[in-house]
């Protein structure tokens, strides 16, 4: 039975990857952080009681900033595959906490690689690094492929640049089977609530039920290549199953604006939006309502507004990936269309909003945290 260790197992990708590896018969070990509240919601459905003898899913307390902790976990588990998905992954927050981001996202990767080397596992343990399209930042070529030069535009992207190169260096210096997956944005109903896609689907679903009035966003013109996380974790696994370790871009090859995402999600709720104003004065107003999915709104009501607090000091305006190498070498294709992904996210958040509305109507206090 193969053993895998996943950092960031409690995150969006970690949860889908753990599911995939368990389905493939792996023994899966995940590192979770200690928190004052439970933080395992995304993996609770695959939790296995450690007291049961043939349990194949094990969680370890740990942190990418803690060298001795990582050394000990690696020494105990001796995994065949390590997936380094753990990170402070929010680009805007990285401007607020640049040093922490560098420590966890940059040096955290080095700590794991050093632990593998120190324990003499470099010939037996394969390593996946969660690299990112944010490395391209101020883009030098469109579409972006494996050979496109990097130009990071945030403390997050700069930390990930170090992680990318240290992974390449350990591959070349020590013969470690190590790969960078340069993944473009990928989303799902499990996406963190403060990333723009989930913020939109959750916000509009709440508005549709009358639980919120308005959704405040930053740059509506940003262009992204959005795929589904479930499709992308398959590539993370595939990359570690080849004869030689290589780096791959994972993307859909299609690009949409944040504004288009808002319109698509609204349409799923039966709402047509008309845009008014420009720049920081731009807002989305309900132009028409179809069906009865949005009882909490009326035509003419403004439901989206731009708030400059969500602008970033340096923005990544446009990203569009070329997944040609992944298709040719690994036969990988994204399976979920943009529309199907938005539909799934809206359906999930609408169900939650309806549940909250029902609870509120029975006198329960439902606190909705806004970003």
Give whichever of 61 and 118 is closer to ligand NDP, judged by the CB atom: 61
Residue numbers at the binding site for ligand NDP (CB under 6 A): 7-8, 10-14, 31, 33, 35, 39, 63-65, 85-89, 104, 130, 132, 183, 185-186, 192
Q: How far is CA 36 from the centre of its chain?
A: 23
Site for ligand GDR in 69-128 (CB under 6 A): 89, 91-92
Query: x/- contact string, 172-211, with ligand GDR (CB under 6 A)?
Result: ------------xx--------xxxx-x------------
Which of ligand GDR, ligand NDP, none interacts with 92 (beta carbon under 5 to 8 A by kind)?
ligand GDR
Is 244 part of the annotated catalytic residue set?
no
Q: 146 burial class (0-12, 13-18, 19+ CB within 10 angstroms)?
A: middle
Is 151 part of the annotated catalytic residue set?
no
Which of ligand NDP, ligand GDR, none interacts with 12 (beta carbon under 5 to 8 A by kind)?
ligand NDP
**Which of 82, 109, 85 is CA-nearest to residue 26?**
82
C-alpha dihedral sign at 44, 49, 50, 53: negative
Give whichever of 10 and 167 is closer to ligand NDP, judged by the CB atom: 10
Number of Cβ within a 10 Å radius of residue 279: 9
Is 124 part of the annotated catalytic residue set?
no
Instruction: Give the residue carrying structure tokens 């170090």.
Output: 162
Per-residue burial over 284-321, b = 16 or more CB atoms within 10 Å of its CB, e = otherwise: bbbeebeeebbebbeeeeebbbbeeeeeeeebbebbbb
Catalytic-role residue among 81, 122, 134, 212: 134
Tell me the C-alpha distance between 325 and 125, whole Å: 24
Which of ligand GDR, ligand NDP, none interacts with 139 (beta carbon under 5 to 8 A by kind)?
none
Give whichever of 230 and 283 is closer to ligand NDP, judged by the CB atom: 230
Query: x/- contact string, 325-364, with ligand GDR (CB under 6 A)?
Result: ----------------------------------------
Tell me the C-alpha distance between 239 and 83, whole Å: 11
Is 133 a residue that touches ligand GDR (CB under 6 A)? yes
Catalytic-role residue among 16, 26, 156, 232: 156
Bridge partners (DSSP) of residue 5 are 29, 82
Distance in Å, CB of 127 to ligand GDR, minimum: 18
User: Strand pairing of 227-228 and 186-187?
Assistant: parallel
Residue with CB nearest ligand GDR? 222
Instruction: Compute the 3-state secondary structure of the chain and give helix, strand, coil in percent, each to the nearest 5.
Output: 40, 20, 40
Is 251 a residue that touches ligand GDR (CB under 6 A)? no
At 49, give phi and psi (nearest 5°): -60, 120
Which residues of the chain form contacts with ligand GDR (CB under 6 A)?
A: 89, 91-92, 132-134, 184-185, 194-197, 199, 217-219, 222, 224, 258, 310, 312, 315-316
- Residues with a known catalytic role: 132, 134, 156
């Amino acid at each position: 039975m193969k053993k895998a260790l996943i950092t960031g197992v409690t995150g969006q990708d970690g949860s889908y990857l753990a599911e995939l590896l368990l389905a493939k018969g792996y023994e899966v070990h995940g590192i979770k952080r200690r928190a004052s509240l439970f933080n395992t919601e995304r993996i609770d459905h695959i939790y296995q009681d450690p007291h049961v003898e043939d349990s194949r899913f094990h969680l370890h307390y740990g942190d990418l900033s803690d060298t001795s902790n990582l050394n000990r976990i690696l020494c105990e588990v001796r995994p065949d595959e390590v997936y380094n998905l753990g990170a402070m992954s929010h680009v805007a927050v990285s401007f607020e906490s640049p040093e922490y981001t560098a420590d966890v996202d940059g040096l955290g990767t080095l700590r794991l690689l050093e632990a593998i080397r120190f324990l003499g596992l470099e010939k037996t343990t394969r390593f996946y690094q969660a690299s990112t399209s944010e490395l391209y930042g101020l883009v030098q070529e469109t579409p972006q492929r494996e050979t496109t030069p990097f130009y990071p535009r945030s403390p997050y992207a700069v930390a990930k640049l170090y992680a990318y190169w240290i992974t390449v260096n350990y591959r070349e210096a020590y013969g470690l089977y190590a790969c960078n997956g340069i993944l473009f944005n990928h989303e799902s109903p499990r996406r963190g609530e403060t990333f723009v896609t989930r913020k939109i689907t959750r916000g509009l679903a709440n508005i549709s039920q009358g639980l919120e009035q308005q959704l405040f966003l930053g740059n509506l013109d940003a262009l992204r290549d959005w795929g589904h996380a479930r499709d992308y974790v398959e590539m993370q696994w595939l990359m570690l199953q080849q004869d030689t370790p290589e780096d791959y871009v994972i993307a859909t090859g299609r690009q949409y604006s944040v504004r288009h995402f808002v319109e698509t999600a609204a349409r799923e709720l039966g709402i047509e939006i008309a845009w008014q104003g420009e720049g920081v004065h731009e807002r989305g107003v309900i132009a028409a309502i179809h069906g009865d999915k949005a009882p909490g709104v009326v035509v003419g009501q403004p439901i989206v507004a731009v708030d400059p607090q969500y602008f970033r000091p340096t923005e990544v305006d446009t990203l569009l990936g070329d997944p040609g190498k992944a298709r040719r070498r690994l036969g990988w294709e994204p399976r979920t269309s943009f529309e199907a992904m938005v539909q799934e996210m809206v359906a999930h958040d609408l169900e939650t909003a309806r549940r909250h509305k029902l609870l509120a109507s029975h006198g329960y206090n439902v606190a909705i945290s806004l970003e």
